Amino acid sequence: MSVTDRPVWLGRPKPVAVALKALALLLISGVVVFPFLVVVSTSLATKAQIDANGGYVLWPTSISFDAYRQIFDGTQVSRSVVISVGITVAGTAFSLFCTVLAAYGLSRRGSLFQRGLLTFVLLTLLFGPGMIPVYLMVKQLGMLNTYWALIIPGAVSAFNIVIIRGFIQGIPQELFDAARMDGAGEWRILWSIVLPLSKAVIAVVGLFLAVGYWNNYFGPLLYLNDSQMWPLQLVMRSFVLENTITTTATQLPGHVTPPAQSIQMALVVIATVPILCVYPFLTKHMSKGMLTGAIKG
């Protein structure tokens, strides 16, 4: 094939096209970075700077950590962060365990009730149970006002099962046959072959699950009656609506309370940073996990 016969996408881009792509990338990056910069800057700004800039600061001239001190000094935010981390870690681990087991069983032809169970799982993608039946189930199981109510009802998702099942089906059958000839059982095959080869899709699904557990606020609002058990997202919602945070700290003489805008933005930063810290370690698995799990060929 000559140079002139090559497809358009294989040719060298023109300088104008490169410049337009760079400009578009800069605009998109600005749209993404600008709001986050405003959030961080406002959380670090003083009351005088916020008043002078109409409530939000793009770049603070002097940095103040009063909002963060106010949040973590005897308030329920410190406890809610620990609760959110615990729920996210425990929920993600439990969900991945159940999802991987279900996906592996449904990917093996001839397993017990494989076709019927697969049909039942796929039907849940079309027909959801609804809020009231789930609440009644949680109540009947005695999980109200417990953290189990935030983990168990949404532990298994049919979408995640389908993604991981498709990935496992892409593993060469010869590997399973060779392992069985060497005397390996199903648990050994799952642990030694399937899990190491499925790191990409497990990382992707794990990220989806972690973000879902971390950002969940409606579940705690529905199932938790004790405010001392609230996770971070529900504490943030309470502050945004009522502009108050439960505190046990003593107000010191001469202490200046940070403005509400700084505390709100500081809460947003605290809720966003953990996911931002985890996401870069999983980005290399994102495209491979999604494409391999969703496309068969």
pLDDT score of 175 more than 80: yes
pLDDT at 8 over 70: no
pLDDT for 138 beyond 50: yes
Give residue-wise pLDDT tens across range 247-297: 444 444 445 677 777 888 888 888 888 888 877 766 666 655 555 544 444
pLDDT given for residue 252 in this prediction: 41
pLDDT at 296: 47
Q: What would the pLDDT profile of 99-118 be if each residue is shown by its tens digit?
A: 999 888 888 877 777 777 88
For the cut 90, the answer to whether the pLDDT of residue 174 exceeds it is: no
Question: What pLDDT does residue 248 have?
Answer: 43
Write out pLDDT tens, residues 221-256: 888 888 888 888 888 887 777 765 554 444 444 456
Query: 246: burial class by Cβ within 10 Å (0-12, 13-18, 19+)?
Result: middle
The candidate with the shortest Cα–Cα distance to 269, out of 87, 77, 89, 79, is 77
Identify the residue with better confidence: 119 or 241: 119
Confidence of residue 130 (pLDDT cuts 50, 70, 90): confident
Position 9 scores a pLDDT of 62
Please, are residues 81 and 141 in contact by the beta-carbon 8 Å criterion?
no
> Is the Cα torsion angle 222, 223, 227, 228 positive or negative in sign?
negative
What is d(CA 6, CA 230) in angstroms, rounded to the nearest whole number? 60
CATH fold of 69-294 reads MetI-like fold (1.10.3720)
| Contact between 100 and 164 (Cβ < 8 Å) | yes
Q: What is the pTM of this model?
A: 0.78
pLDDT at residue 24 greater than cutoff 90: yes
pLDDT number for residue 95: 93
Q: What is the pLDDT of residue 90?
A: 93
The alpha carbon of 133 is separated from its chain's Cα centroid by a whole number of angstroms, namely 25
pLDDT score at 184: 80
If phi over 0 gives left and psi between -120 and 50 gives alpha, with beta otherwise, what is residue 295? beta
> Residues 171, 197: contact at Cβ < 8 Å?
yes
> What span, in angstroms and rounded, lies between the C-alpha atoms of 242 and 143?
28
Q: Which of 166, 170, 155, 184 is nearest to 97 (CA)?
A: 155
Residue 37 has which token pair?
């910069």
State the span(s) of the chain assigned CATH 1.10.3720.10. 69-294
15-19, 155-159, 217-221, 255-259: the lowest-pLDDT one? 255-259
Read off the pLDDT of each residue in 6-11 and give the average, rounded to a whole number. Answer: 63
